[in-house]
A and B are shown apart, each in its own frame.
Chain A
Amino acid sequence: MRIACDTGGTFTDLIVESDDGQIKMYKAATVPQDPVQGMLDAATVAAGDWKLSLPDFLGRCDLLIHGTTHAINAIITGRTARTAFLTTAGHPDILVLREGGRAEPFNFHVPYPSPYIPRALTFEIPERINAAGAIVTALDEEATGRILDDVAASGVEAIAVCLLWAIANPVHELRIGDMIRQRLPDVPFTLAHQLNPTLREYRRASAAAIDSSLKPLMGRYLSELTSRLASSGFKGRTLVLTSQGGMMDAAELAKQPIHAINSGPSMAPIAGRYYGAVDSKLPLAIVADTGGTTYDVSLVRRGRIPKTRETWIGKPYRGHMTGLPSIDIKSVGAGGGSIARVDKGGLLHVGPQSAGSVPGPVCYAAGGTQPTLTDACLVLGYLDPTFFLGGRMKLDPDAARQAIESTIAAPLKLDLYAAAAAIVEVATENMVQAIEEITINQGIDPSEAALIGGGGAAGFNSVWIARRLNCPLLIMPETGAALSAAGALMSELRDEYREMFLVTSDAWNEPAVNSLLAKLRERCVAFVDRAGASLQQARIEFAVEARYAGQVWEIELPLKHDHYAGEADLAGLLEDFHAHHEDVFAVRDPSSVVEFVCWTAAVSCPLGRNDLGRMPADPAASRRSASRQAFFAGSGIVETPVFALASLPEGDVMRGPAIVETPFTTIVIDPRASFWHGPSGSLLIKP
């Protein structure tokens, strides 16, 4: 048996996959002060369902996959270690100046952000290496020793080291590492060139600073996690999800905790990739996870999940860049709890402010007074006030109506339904914009994409999002309410290797490229061996980051070969680059030299199955069938049939309007759309 456990802000989701492949979903409240307790609570709920004691239940599990927000929460709440920053003399302000840039050039109310590590804990090391890797100023070890005494005296719990050009020649950083080990043996540290071998000193320094500041805390958390699981009867292997959408053994991750920052959300695209492939033949899938407050979107292209190197913690230019690749997830402030308001100029806004879970939407009757997207959906008849979250919560439609009437409909001079529909429409547009940023903005056409809706609020407006983007298919998976945990079960052990090697189209060096690719392949094979997997199961994908001469931002180009033989192969590679550049940026420059900068090989080994089983039907939910009055723009109020997803026969194509309910979500299908229940269990909708 395998379990996946995703600790979120409100709920800890747990999915159990039994050996026959059947999956079941459980939830328990997250315990913010003690997240391991939340996991054990969820496991206890599951054990109860399986009629086992917790030790017996855990004893049957051979694998636990964990997604955690522990690292990101520590950063956001300022609970990371007191950390020193060691850098090249003359350059103490790398973390202060960052890379410049600003959002909102006319907004002076926003203070300039503080550096991740203060100047007070920044130490300048006398040394300098140049772009060619040559030593300009040798490391002054005596002075460095005195500096390390000062570092020790400052009472830090961790150290980040980032020297200029250590990526070209690491000798000084390595020596400082040795000296730290000797003089401050108990203080964990990170050498930037080892963690993130990339050009641009701020990104490297920021990565090292964040990583080292997480080491004491994540080391404790991960070792406690494994020991408490063990004492609760778990004897299997514990893997933790990483920002790159793979997994690492808990002990391995404790050495590079920065990779845990997007642990959790990074799994939704993995699940999306699976459903995109089983439910459609489209080359693209857009994965959208709608929670109460945020809308997280990502993309799967021909089975590949794109990554970004510009991951920010917080807002761009106001937060901190991690400097490391992460699955490219864009989050905007839009969700079921997004608050609607009309400004003094008469413009309707929805979000980014959210009513959260406390006080929540007006209809929760828990003190909320500002109408939200959820309130609008209730007013429009999409939600059943007696069957929200499978009947676990009652909603107050009158309160929602009054709030929308007075704060939205009246100032906009619209009737109640038009006002509520406008709230849905504005929220839809905000979500569409987020998707356009990762698709159209990158030159990717969403009309070739399936939209995959996950998260509790996805069903409200995904049909309209899909239509607005011209997506031909909308997929609502049956595991949608815990999409990340479902993704974790399909996640693979993976790692990625990078080699910087500049070769240009006018001085192509075929033997060097081939030997480099062979070397990358060897590292992948070694990884497969270490993981105890077989080479037949493993997948190795090569790519190159390339650009026109003079550009400094590369585009990633998947490689069709791992061995180049002759002019024709090079010509094919160049044509692929020109075509990709024109595809994304509307122009090509065939007269220009192309520079191939960085070569990568990604290796992944599936663990057990790489598909997902079905959830058992909930007999209570299947019996529900009814109809209710719902409002649709263009049609007005329509008598709308309501179905339980589990009760729909597979394959029968039906026409909207309809509302499809599951124990966790409500899916709205407007009169223009058609839908059917797919063999995977997903609800499939043609918008």
Chain B
Amino acid sequence: MDRATAPLLDGARLSIIANRFGGVCRKMGNTLLRTGRSGVLNRAKDFSCCIVTADCELLTAEESLPIHVLSGPDLMVRWLNSVHPNVKRGDVFLHNSPYHGNSHPADHTLLMPVVDDDGVHRFTVLAKAHQADIGNSIPTTYHGTARDVYEEGALLFPAVKVVENYKVNEDFVRMCRLRIRVPDQWHGDFLAMLGAAYIGEREILAMGQELGWDKLSAFCRQWLDYSESRMIEAIRAMRGGSASATSTHDAIPGTPKDGITVTSSVTIDPDRAMIDVDLTDNPDQLACGLNVSEACTRTSAMIGVFNSVDPSVPKNAGAFRRIAVHLKEGGVVGIPQHPISCSASTTNLADRVQNATQLALAAISEHLGMGEIGCFCPPSTSVVSGIDPRSGKAYVNQLFLGHTAGAGYASEDAWLTMLHAGNGGMCFMDSIELDEVYTPILVKTRRLIADSEGAGQYRGAPGILVEFGPVGAAMQAVFVADGNINNPKGARGGSAAAPSAQFIRQRDGTLRPLPQYCDTWIGDGETLVSVACGGGGYGSAANRDPERVCKDVQEGLVTRQRAESVYGTVLTPDLQVDIEATERLRAANEGRATVPR
């Protein structure tokens, strides 16, 4: 049915069907969380579920991790259609190729076409889940220094059919069982994803039968148009202008010695109701695992924009029409070419793309953007592996033992537990007790660090200290920390957060610094000490509401000394704001250069 003859749905019907599609995503996600076997799924919730239309447009991705879904699902389904033009009901495809629309190889994605009774491919449901292991050459899903995919070692599946007529191809399972560490854990996670895909398909088939496929098609067009109209309205309410900003990832082996600087140039054009993000002025792809896939580059720029847009605008292909992201072929951010590695594509440098975009927005208007969100991935989020001495069995899993990273926003303090920019705070933080049951470790400390926040009128999150070590046997830990040197900057006069750092505490109690990119064994009796960044502040700390400063001091997040020197706020001995002294101090400070962090 063409556009002219399609039935038009009223606002009520539109709302109802949108809710039902959102409900499908939630049902899929619930299945993944409850049935996943690895901690990265069932403790940290590092997965996403979404629905793509027959026209390869993202329809809804409710409750997903932003970096997983804004762009990528569309590219993946387009790729699926090009290599499998004749899908059948009951087919499921595994896709993890960052060269064909996936985020990074660790995000295994199951694509399940929803095929109607006449054999027409109507929708595709996607279940994307970060794996505990993907058969890399070393036990981590973020191989930061891999020269290329061969050194990285990931098994790549560019939309490979793994289920036909609802029956799993056991050849594929046997193959993965030989190449992926802790195969039972992988297989359980695969089944969890499959359950989510089946549930999504079942739900949409039922909707099609109940409401009619033509009506659902009409809904999709109209829903995307509605979302676009909401985005137009949001952009028209913004101040127009252009600005560029940079964000720099620290050096690791394989990068230039000063690290990698990402430049984002943003133009807001309220008249055309368009936002352009130009990422073409960036370095070429590098022989390391930090290159950012096309999906993640696009998505990071879009998250940067959406974080400043009325949050009620639906995030789907309709709203995306009003954002143009310009990419460079073969860029370190942009469209990296096989066989260069995109192993850590969702986090480290992708976060820098988002941060640069948000800083540029903040430069355009004091109502937009935010400070830099803290850096990934400190040792508290290592992938750890070894043999559990309690059972004699091998283990491999990514820990989520402690994170903050939130940045000050134009009108509010940081959301504390952001994890990293692209995550949006959606992941859970591991329970110490659960981690100690499932991994042979002991966590000595997990605490926020006083005076480590990015100061500002709206402050960033404080950093977090996590110290943990293996019990009864050595443990291998791999991480790629950022922010030792290029700590998260503030925006519009806001200050930077304290830098990150990482050490090993040796048996004699002394601390030995570790490199930022690290693949190391921690012995029994030793501990990893992880100092993770908070986030940058927004606006000048001198303008911060003294009551907010006072509360931070009462709560032990900011010392009295820092309250005075950085925030110009004087407190009485019983920790109340001394209004007169504060006014005097702020008046005296006026005109002076802002205090460094």
Whether A184 is near chain B, meaning CB under 8 Å from some CB there, is no
CB of B34 within 8 A of CB of A91, answer: no
Cβ of A346 < 8 Å from any Cβ of B? yes
Are A345 and B426 interface neighbours, CB within 8 A? Answer: no
Q: Is B557 within 8 A of A422, CB to CB? A: no
**Is the CB–CB distance between A441 and B27 below 8 Å?**
yes
Specify which chain A residues have a CB less than 8 angstroms from the CB of B432 in the assembled complex.
91, 164, 201
Question: Beta-carbon contacts of B289-310 to A below 8 Å, as 1s and 0s?
Answer: 0000000000000010011010
B10 in complex: contacting residue of A120, A412, A586, CB < 8 Å: A412
Q: Does B563 contact A (CB under 8 A)?
A: no
Please state if A422 and B11 are interface contacts (CB–CB under 8 Å): yes
Within 8 A of A (CB), among B439-483: 442-448, 464, 467, 471
Cβ of A620 under 8 Å from chain B = no
Contact B424 A118 (CB under 8 A): no
Given contacts A100-B427, A131-B433, A349-B15, contact A552 B43 (CB under 8 A): yes
Chain-B contact segment, one of A30-38, A269-277, A430-438: A430-438
Given A119-B557, A433-B23, are A348 and B15 neighbors across the interface (CB < 8 Å)?
A: yes
Q: Which of A90, A200, A549 makes the CB contact (< 8 A) with B444?
A: A90
* B230 nearest CB neighbor, chain A only: A345
A106 to B409, CA, bound (A): 11
* Chain B residues in 8 Å Cβ range of A501: none
B446 touches A101 (CB 8 A): no
Contacting pair A585 B35 (CB below 8 A) = yes
Q: Cβ of A551: which chain B residues have Cβ within 8 Å of it?
A: 34-37, 42, 188
Q: Is B578 an interface residue, CB under 8 A from the partner?
A: no
For the complex, give the distance between the alpha carbons of A92 and B449 in Å: 11
> Which residues from chain A contact B34 at a C-beta distance below 8 Å?
551, 553, 555, 584-585
Task: Say whether, besides A164-B432, A164-B433, A200-B434, A552 and B403 are in contact (CB < 8 Å).
Answer: no
Which B residues are in CB contact (< 8 Å) with A90?
443-447, 467
Q: From A593, which residue of chain B is reached at the shortest CB distance?
A: B184
List chain A residues, Cβ under 8 A from B436.
130-131, 165
Contact of B448 among A93, A345, A349 (CB under 8 A): A93
Cβ-closest chain B residue relative to A349: B15
Q: Are A97 and B35 in contact (CB under 8 A)?
A: no
Given contacts A441-B26, A553-B34, contact A108 B19 (CB under 8 A): no
Contact A348 B417 (CB under 8 A): no
The answer to whether A412 and B11 touch (CB under 8 A), given A90-B446, A99-B429, A112-B414, is: yes
Specify which chain A residues have a CB less than 8 angstroms from the CB of B19 in the assembled complex.
429-430, 433
Is there an interface contact between B199 and A102, defined as CB atoms closer than 8 Å?
Answer: no
Closest to B232 in A: A345
* Interface check A537, CB cutoff 8 A: no
Q: Point out the residues of chain B lying under 8 angstroms from A589, CB to CB.
A: 187-188, 191
* Known A108-B412, A429-B16; contact A436-B23, beta-carbon cutoff 8 A: yes
A200 and B433: CB pair below 8 A? yes
Q: Which residues of A contact B505 (CB under 8 A)?
A: none
Q: A91 CA to B468 CA in the complex, in Å?
A: 12
Taking a contact as CB atoms closer than 8 A, the residue among A130, A344, A585 that contacts B442 in the complex is A130
**Is residue A567 contacting chain B, with contact meaning CB distance below 8 A?**
no
A654 part of interface (Cβ distance < 8 Å): no
Contacts of A101 in B (CB 8 A): 45, 417, 425-429
| A96–B416 touching, CB < 8 Å | yes
Q: CB of A136 within 8 A of chain B?
A: yes
- Residues from chain B with a CB closer than 8 A to the CB of A165 are 433, 436
Tell whether A174 is near chain B: CB-to-CB under 8 Å.
no
Are B11 and A347 in touch, CB under 8 angstroms?
yes
Chain A residues near B63 (CB, 8 Å)? 103
**Cα-based distance from A343 to B194 in the complex (angstroms):** 38
Is A566 positioned at the interface, with any CB of B under 8 Å from its CB?
A: no
- Is there a chain A Cβ closer than 8 Å to B572's Cβ? no
Q: Does A131 lie within 8 Å of B555, measured CB to CB?
A: no
- Which B residues between 550 and 564 are near A, CB-CB below 8 angstroms? 554-557
Distance of A424 Cα from B403 Cα, bound (Å) = 44
Known contacts A108-B415, A199-B434, A433-B23; A587 and B42 CB within 8 A of each other: no
B370 located at the interface, meaning its Cβ lies under 8 Å from any Cβ of chain A in the complex: yes
A556 — which chain B residues lie within 8 A by C-beta?
Answer: none
Q: B327-379: which residues lie under 8 A (CB-CB) from chain A?
A: 370
B402 at the interface (CB under 8 A from A): yes
A residues near B312, Cβ cutoff 8 Å: 343
Cα-based distance from A584 to B195 in the complex (angstroms): 9
What is the minimal beta-carbon distance from A3 to any residue of chain B, in angstroms?
41
A100 and B417 in contact, given A348-B12, A550-B184 (Cβ under 8 angstroms):
yes
How many B residues touch A, CB cutoff 8 Å?
93
Per the 8 Å Cβ criterion, residues 106-147 of A in contact with B are 106-112, 118-120, 128, 130-131, 136
- Chain A hits for B311, CB < 8 A: 104, 106-109
Q: Are A136 and B425 in contact (CB under 8 A)?
A: no
B151-188 contacts to A, CB under 8 A, are 184-185, 187-188
Q: How far is the CB of B341 from chain A (nearest CB, A)?
A: 27
A202 interface residue per 8 A CB criterion: yes
Chain B residues whose CB sits within 8 angstroms of the CB of A97 once the complex forms: 402, 416-417, 429, 446
Q: How far is the CB of B53 from chain A (nearest CB, A)?
A: 19
Max count, chain A CB within 10 A of own CB: residue among B42, B188, B438? B188
Contact yes or no, A102 B425, CB < 8 A: yes
- Among A91, A99, A200, A586, max chain B CB count under 10 A is at A586
Contact in complex: B555, A586 (CB < 8 Å):
no
Inter-subunit contact A347/B15 (CB<8 Å) = yes
Chain A residues, CB < 8 A from B192? 585, 587
Known: A550-B185, A586-B195. A109 touches B11 (CB 8 A): no
Residues A120 and B226 in contact, CB atoms below 8 Å apart: no
Chain B residues contacting A136 (CB-CB under 8 Å) are 442
Contact B191 A100 (CB under 8 A): no
Q: Say whether A100 contacts B15, CB under 8 Å.
A: no
- Given the interface pairs A100-B428, A118-B554, A589-B188, the reply to whether A108 lies near B307 with Cβ below 8 Å is yes
Chain B residues near A364: list those with CB within 8 A: none
The answer to the question of A425 belonging to the interface, with a C-beta cut-off of 8 Å to chain B, is yes
* Assembled-state Cα–Cα distance A430/B22 (Å): 12
Q: Which chain A residues in 34-92 approach chain B with CB under 8 Å?
A: 90-92
Contact A586 B426, beta carbon cutoff 8 Å? no
Q: Shortest CB–CB separation between residue A111 and chain B, in angstroms?
A: 6
Docked Cα-Cα span, A426 to B18, in Å, equals: 11
A551–B370 CA distance with the chains assembled, in angstroms: 38
Contacts of B533 in A (CB 8 A): none
The answer to whether B214 has its CB under 8 Å from any CB of chain A is no
Instruction: State whether B425 touches A100 (Cβ < 8 A).
Output: yes
With the chains together, A414 CA to B9 CA distance in Å?
Answer: 12
Assess whether B413 is interfacial by the CB under 8 Å rule: yes
Q: Mark B75-113, 1 if CB is under 8 A from A, else 0.
A: 000000000000000000000000000000000000000
Which of B13, B306, B406, B554 is the one whose CB lies under 8 Å from A106?
Answer: B306
Q: Determine whether the beta carbon of B426 is less than 8 Å from that of A106.
A: no
In A340-356, the 8 Å CB interface with B consists of 342-349
**Looking at B27, B306, B464, which has the most chain A CB atoms within 10 Å of its CB?**
B27
**Contact indicator per residue, chain B 29-46, by CB within 8 Å of chain A (1) or not (0):** 011011111110011010
Q: Judging by beta carbons under 8 Å apart, are B23 and A111 in contact?
A: no
B14 at the A interface (CB under 8 A)? yes
Any chain B CB within 8 A of the CB of A634?
no
Nearest Cβ distance between residue A517 and chain B, in whole angstroms? Answer: 24
**A608 on interface, CB distance cutoff 8 Å:** no
Q: Say yes or no: is A592 at the interface (Cβ < 8 Å to chain B).
A: yes
8 residue pairs of the A-B complex, CB under 8 angstroms, read A101-B426, A108-B415, A345-B230, A346-B229, A551-B188, A553-B42, A587-B192, A589-B188
Interface residues of B (CB under 8 A from A): 10-16, 19-20, 23, 26-27, 30-31, 33-39, 42-43, 45, 63, 65-66, 184-185, 187-188, 191-192, 194-195, 198-199, 202-203, 226-227, 229-230, 233, 303, 306-307, 309, 311-312, 315, 370, 400, 402-403, 406, 409, 411-417, 419, 423-429, 431-434, 436-438, 442-448, 464, 467, 471, 554-557
Besides A104-B311, A345-B227, 9 other CB < 8 A contacts? A90-B443, A90-B445, A101-B427, A105-B425, A201-B432, A347-B11, A412-B11, A433-B20, A550-B184
